[in-house]
Chain A
Amino acid sequence: MTEPTDVDHDVVVASRRRFLREGGALMGGAVLAGGLAGSEALAAADAASASNVPPNVPEWMKAPGDPVGSQLYGTPSPFEKGVVRNVPRNAAQYLSAASRTPLQDLDGIITPNGLFYERHHGGVPDIDPAQHRLMLHGLVDKPLIFTMDDIRRFPTESRIHFLECSGNPGYKKPYGRTASDLVGLLSCAEWTGVSLKLVLQEAGLQQAAKWVVAEGADAAALTRSIPIEKCLEDAMLVYSQNGERLRPQQGYPLRLLLPGFEGNMNVKWLRRLRVAAEPAYSREETSKYTDLMPDGSAREFTFYMEAKSIITRPSGGQRLSAPGFHEIGGIAWSGHGKIKRVDVSVDAGKSWQEAQLQEPVLTRALTRFRLPWQWDGRPAVIQSRATDETDYVQPTLAELLAVRGLNYFYHNNAIWPWRIAADGEVTNANA
């Protein structure tokens, strides 16, 4: 318990290692092919070696491809095999651990279900939905038990929201190499389910109801307490993600969704809701997920993830092929609502320009931003700064450390600069 379990100081990226092992020999060619060295460039290099480029006719045009139904559940092209979850190497154990979304390899605001970040506290349970039950009890007029069929009978609702782990990243060095290492405990999806308010009203809330204690059906029986205001505002019971049923890693068959609240509170494999007058003060809201201040006090019930952004392209581990035009792009998000603006600096923070936001700009969802940029080939430091609709501005790491100190661990929403060397290599400027 010296460090909170979300600590991930020794991040080495599995996908990066695979990339280097399998693609290292092709790197030179890939970089010469232009743009960012990555899986696309590797594919291009492969193609070149097979003489499938003009003026030759590509080999895949000279014979029919796989027939319809070759894959009953489609998977990405084999050329994208490096785009996988980023699993820390040398973790003490992997039952209570996390894997990260490869943010630098993704576009848009929706995270593919297979790449959604994971944080489990007792492994991933294998739940038969026919035997899953949700119990709702405590300060209600009528304690109830629901089957999954019951839950799906309620009026449905779909909304797009991000989820972010509270420890993403910590405050102490060493920091990660890539965008995924730094803030990959972040994903965004379209969620479908029922408003928690409707389900609570079905049981009838009593006057003294101030909190709802949610419990998962995993081996950690993870328990968190949620203020009743949030439960009646925008909380959902979710059974589908991006159009299909939840994946086991995201809580199949039922999870809680608390838009803007730290990830662990969005209890997965939800089996029980106890309406109460007081919080549970569970282990996960006292010994963990509390923020230690320099004076030894600790902040508790720190629910919201504050406004944050990161440049994902170009970002750590990538390389600019040559001076000239490069679009700077990234993601911004806030647990307090919509992103209002994102500013980008390409001169180590001396000056900032407002970036363009990509529609849709949704509340408590990832928002894409972009800025056209002419790189002059000299070393540069680039970074982004988000402002949300409450006019809160994403702080610098120095500003956060001045208040919170190095032991705080959770809720680090600092601006994160990338250093671009003269040879185009992009590295973490804070490392």
Chain B
Amino acid sequence: MPMTNETRGTSAAPAADEWVTLLCDNTRTGGQGAPPMEAPSRARWQLRLGSSVRSAPVMRDTTLYVNSLAGTLHAINVETGRLKWKFEAPGQIHSTPSLYKNKVLFGCDDGNVYAVNAELGGKSWDVPTKGEVWASPVVRQGVACFGSADGHVYAADADSGKLVWKQQLGGRVYSTAYAAEKNIYVGSGDGQVHSLDQTTGKILWSTPTGNGIDSSPALVRDTLVIGSLDFFVYGLDATTGAVRWKYETGLGISSSPAVSGDVAYIGSKDGFLYALAIKTGELKWKTRAGEVVTSPLVFSEGVVYVQSFGTMALEAATGKVMWRAGLGGSVQGAPVIRERVIYVAGNSGEVYALE
């Protein structure tokens, strides 16, 4: 699916190689887009990594990039299911990778953000912080932005790794930011949603919620959609931070919304998926997905995908469950879908190509 301003979420579209939020853009497809696929019936291949996967894979061309808890970034040839190379980091990895030019970017529990050559697996640069980095780096206008458990948001030159600015917030930052043309939007462990100036890091506005935020926002025109552990999904005025609406779910929200048109799809720890009108917060449908949903949702061509102790697909228009697969048990994962193959990884440390 081509990148449009709508899927990118802003009036000023980012360049093709920019990665503006968790899993690239508001659809959370990792920039893939994809036709809807039928229920998978077999595994084309399966690869055992030997360590749990607590993040989502991403793909470019024929390579799938998967981080594992053992501290390894794996580059996997999707045609053969074989490992092309791996990069060993010194700490556990909970961060979903992002892609920028010829680099794979990710955070590590050793406090560094690493950029690794996407073809060869060698380190390009690293940026140190003073806490573990679970957020995924985002890139806009050549600047990589990411939060750390040390309570700061960092901005670094995405080509060199040179620090541009850092800004202290009031809690740990596990929320992956949304990088708009002039603003960075991000949540914090103290429950605040912040807008920062993209070039200086200055805080432009802060809006409190009732509990911590590890959800990553989606920006749709001038509305910022984000979940909070206070049980609510928020729709905020992106210019002022004013609360336009909020919708209450049954438990806290760690999931990140996926967006299509005027609807945002998001999961809650109460086990339900919710479809909400972006303009008003009105509920379109809710569907039970399992016991707990903490993973980001993925939207593609009228279908919403989610991982929660398995993988499932729902009709975006109605919330009707199209199929479920038992593979892909995960708390932070998301599937990659391309050419009628779905790639999933999860807590068991297995990566599957299902068709």
| A-B complex is real | no
